[in-house]
Each structure stands twice: as C-alpha cells, then as structure tokens.
Amino acid sequence: VPLQDAEAAAEELERAVQVNGMVGVQIGANVNGMNLDDPSLLPFFQVAEKLQAPIFIHPDNVPALDRIPRYNLRNFIGNPLDTTIAAASLIFGGVLERFPNLKVCLAHGGGFVPYQRGRFARGFKVREEAKLRISRPPDDYLSRMYFDTVIHFEPALRYMVETCGARRVVMGSDYPAAMGDPEPVQFVASSRLKEEEKKLVLSENARELFRLDLKT
Amino acid sequence: VPLQDAEAAAEELERAVQVNGMVGVQIGANVNGMNLDDPSLLPFFQVAEKLQAPIFIHPDNVPALDRIPRYNLRNFIGNPLDTTIAAASLIFGGVLERFPNLKVCLAHGGGFVPYQRGRFARGFKVREEAKLRISRPPDDYLSRMYFDTVIHFEPALRYMVETCGARRVVMGSDYPAAMGDPEPVQFVASSRLKEEEKKLVLSENARELFRLDLKT
C-alpha cells in the first residue's frame, strides 16, 4: 500500500465523521496481507485518534489457508486468527503505544487474544524480539481494547467480561453473516453476567465508545 | 508422507509401549505441513487407540509465517494456532469419531480451542462443510480431549477447568522451552481452583491418563 492510500483513508475518515456524522470506522485485520503495524498506515491511526473515532477490526483475507482448506476452518479458525494477528501487531508493533487514546474494538470476542494473553505476557518477559517496539507489557495495551460478544459460548462471554473488564465488552451481532449471532441481545441477557454488567455490555459501553450522548 | 511411514510410526509406538514400557507418545501438530486428518495417518491412530497410549500434540513447523515474522509472534500466535488446527482436524476430519477411545492431550492450554469452541459449534450448525466427516457436534469430540496447563494466566486456567472439565486438565511445564512455565506446580497450587480440582490437575488425571497405577 503506497503512503497516499493510508492518507486518503485518513481523509475519508475525517470527512465521514466530521461531515457525515459517522461514529467510527470498520477496517480489515490486514491490508492485502500487510499487518496493521506497517509504518505506512500511521497517518490513518493518527487521524482516528484525533477524531476519537473507534476502529472496529474485522477479519478479511485470512492467513494460513494452506492448512485450513476444509470443513470451513477458513472461517472458524482463520477469522479469529486474522483478528489475533491484527491485535498483536497493534500491541507489539507499538501502534497503541504511539497513539494511547486510540479506541480499537476486536470482532468475534477478540479472536484468540483473551484466552492466550498470558502467552503474550510471558513472551514479553522472556523474548527480546517482543520488546523491540514497546516499553510496557502487552497487557497494558490490551487493557485499552474493546471486544464484541460474538463468541457463541456463554462461559467464554463471562471469561471475557472477567478478564477484559465489563466496560470493554460490547454487544455484537456479525449480522448478516451465517456465523453471526442471530439473537445477540438474548445471548447477553440470558447469561450469568451480573445485571450491571449486562447493562454495560448491552448499551452503556456502546454509548460511551461511540459518544452517542454527544451526537444529535 | 507415504503410507509406510505412518505404519512404521505405529510399529515403533507399539514397540515403545509394549517392549520399553513408555506410557504414551508425543507428536507434532502436523506432519511436514500435512494435517492430522490425512487418511495416510489412520494406522498410527488405530494402534494408539488399541494400546490405550495417550497422544500429546505439540506445535511444530507452524503455519501463517508470512503474517507473523516479527516480535516472536511465530511462537506466541503460531504455536497455539498449529495446535488449534491439529485439534480441529481430528474433530472435523472424523479421526475422533472413527477412534472413540483415542486419548489426545493438547499443549499450551489447547491453543485457541477452549475459548473459540462456540464458533466450532455454531459452524457445525450452519455450515454444511463442517458436517462432511462427522455425525455429532464438535463439542462431543472436544469433550474427550485433554489440555495441559501451560497458559500463563490464572483466569484462563480456571476457564479451562470450568469448560473442559477438571478431569481433562493436566499439569504441563513445556520444559525446557523459554516460553514454558518455570513453576508449573505453583501455578496450579496458587490458583483459585478448588482443592479437589487442584488434586486432579496436579496428579490424579495424569495417573489415570498414563495408567501409572497399572505400571511398575
């Protein structure tokens, strides 16, 4: 991706938010296979931070296809994998360190990140390559991210809320994908989460993330 | 892999267990990039089931390298990814359906499987490709698997025990890898698991899995 594309994207984001009143933007978990920590993309993230526009990251053009050609594993594994690589690139690649107020929301319950975050933390402790572009442990950057609820398993929803924080989980539907949750409100409402947690996940977090009270 | 290799591996497994008294076998999560549901590997799994020899699956030769070249993500993401593909191949590829008494243990807390198992279940429900080789939902096969504790995050350990079952989690160290757990007993013992769960994870499950009471 040539530099001017990221700058054009940043300009379009600015127009969408300031002229058209959009509350945020969705991007792919990679740009034609290029990870999100590529320096050419910095202008985009800079403008997103300035606008306080949340970025929703959804998989696209997933990796490892040679190993997941069958049984639709391309979706079941490839999609959360792509999101995981995006999150790790933003964390270890220093994007979240450089833009501390960037608001990032990960699709599908954050891919594989919430469950294996201890592996990221352990890696930062024992492997020098993990410290190339960041000064603090990965959990410090991870704790600023948001996660949608499209995880299809109630204990995983509770785990997400327990470990990422009730203020970091936002109801998602993945509509109209077949792999989405056809009853996303019910999924949260019927869970064993506390009532105040359900309220946050179902409405308050989105109001704050998308700054809905400041609009209209 | 030519057929005779899997047959040679099966013969060696038989010798190791019956002549040398080994309690099980460790294999890679793939064979030179070939997934574990390849029909050429069936003779190996058949003998492992017959011998009641547990198979420990550890990543090796990980996929998606083009997307994870930096920050040691090759290990942090690639390793659990490889294990995840192995588990999904055994499940969706019908290996566990064909060999119902096969005992499989997954490294590193089962990779990404325990957290995203709902996605597997949803996929089986809505995507025909997921039903090509299995007759029952993926959870039915997943519930027979074992998981080691090398997850580096106490809430993830509790989540694993809650969702996979206290009888399915076995203490692991990953010794001598830098990414291993240098205090694997302490990790479990100091967790918020119940005392009876700790006892299972730290000793009883391994005794049963490796049939230690029948040896010596």
Confidence grade of residue B215 (pLDDT, cut at 50, 70, 90): low
pLDDT of B201 > 90? The answer is yes
Region A70-87: what's the mean pLDDT?
A: 98
Three-class SS state of A147: strand
User: Which residues of chain A does B77 touch, with a Cβ-Cβ cutoff of 8 Å?
Assistant: 81, 84-85, 88, 112, 116
| Residue of chain A whose Cα is closest to the Cα of B30 | A67
User: Which residues of chain A does B162 touch, with a Cβ-Cβ cutoff of 8 Å?
Assistant: 155
Q: Are strands A104-106 and A146-148 parallel, antiparallel or unpaired?
A: parallel
Confidence grade of residue A163 (pLDDT, cut at 50, 70, 90): very high
pLDDT of res. A214: 77
pLDDT of B216 > 90? The answer is no
Mean pLDDT score of chain A: 96
ipTM value greater than 0.85: yes
| Residue of chain B whose Cα is closest to the Cα of A134 | B71
Min CA distance, A58 vs chain B (Å)?
Answer: 15
Contact A152 B64 (CB under 8 A): no
Express as a percent the part of chain B with pLDDT over 70. 97
Contact B152 A109 (CB under 8 A): no
* Distance of alpha carbon B91 from alpha carbon B101, whole angstroms: 13
pLDDT of res. B214: 77
Among B35, B71, B112, the residue with its CB nearest the CB of A115 is: B112
pLDDT of B14 > 80? The answer is yes
Residues B140-168 have pLDDT tens digits of: 999 999 999 999 999 999 999 999 999 99
Contact A153 B118 (CB under 8 A): yes
Min CA distance, A181 vs chain B (Å)?
Answer: 9
* One-letter identity of residue B49: E
pLDDT of B1 > 80? The answer is no
* Distance of alpha carbon A60 from alpha carbon B34, whole angstroms: 24
Q: Which of residues 175-194 of A touch B (CB under 8 A)?
A: 178-179
Confidence grade of residue A213 (pLDDT, cut at 50, 70, 90): confident
Contact B112 A77 (CB under 8 A): yes
pLDDT of B182 > 90? The answer is yes
| Backbone torsions φ then ψ of A127, nearest 5 degrees | -120, 125
Among B174, B62, B59, B86, smallest CA distance to A122 is for B174
Q: Does A85 reach chain B within 8 Å, measured CB to CB?
A: yes
